[in-house]
Structure 1
Amino acid sequence: MQFPAGVLVNRLGERRLLTASLGLSGFSMLLLGFAPAFGVFFLGSAAYGLTSGLYGPSRGTVLSRTFTRNAGAAFGITLAIGSLGSAFLPNIAAAVVTDVGWRAILAGLAVPFFVMSVLAWNVVPERPAENDRPSDDRSGHRRRLRRR
């Protein structure tokens, strides 16, 4: 999803793509948690993979635009927090899953996704879509290429 997400960042902007990624990932968590059959669970897994894959490139461009002077530190902190989550959350989930059940945990994860989706919409600044930006004279480049 890296390439399509990068193209969509240029066309839609980070705010829209982050919000969509988080919101749709939340819906896929609901689908996983309430899947009545394996086929639905499989579709939920595929949906989660596709929608969460939109997150990375748009997160990266937001960090680069927001922390222009300290982008390296911003990326380092972001990735370090993700690594901590990857280290600790499975242990927490393993401890809770016997009491709550995996379906409730997956469905319950939709709530933080939805909250973060609203937060992303309210915090990430809007930037003009590609079509709203000043022309970079692409048509001139195309004309020159056709003449050759």
Structure 2
Amino acid sequence: MFPLGHPFANKNTKLFLAGKVAKRLLTEAQEAFPYEYSALLAGRGADITMHIPLRPIEPATHFYQWDGDSLVRALREISRADLEWLGVLHTHPHSPPVPSQADAAGWHYAQLSYWILSLQGIQPELRVYQWAEGAFQERSYLITGDR
């Protein structure tokens, strides 16, 4: 089975995103623009130290559907690295980093972190959410130096 983490082990857990991962995610998201971009996030506990880009079924500007083979390969890569799957990041190229109704309807991993990177404005904006009590709740995070 694939290693599924629990980044929100307690209610007040702050997540940590490695700076090198944050930089690569932003670069790859900007390269995908104007289309949505998505990646799996991996690490241990609340520390995200790796990402794996996912290939979409087809490029789109307002939704993202993972290619099944790409998802399985990414999960195997996380397992081989002896890490846990801690979350998912996707972009909103043309809207704020707020979960849409489609985001809520398509989210099936309540224990994982849900990151949205908006490329709508002059400055990219990143937010992270946890699914709790039937809705997305915004959570705090810190971009760290390379660990």
**Same structural fold, with TM-score higher than 0.5 when normalized by the shorter chain:** no
Larger radius of gyration: 1
Superposition TM-score tier, normalisation by shorter sequence: under 0.3
Higher RCO, 1 or 2 (CA under 8 Å, sep at least 6)? 1
Q: Give the TM-score normalised by structure 2.
A: 0.25
Answer 1 or 2: which has greater helix percent: 1
Q: Give the TM-score normalised by structure 1.
A: 0.24
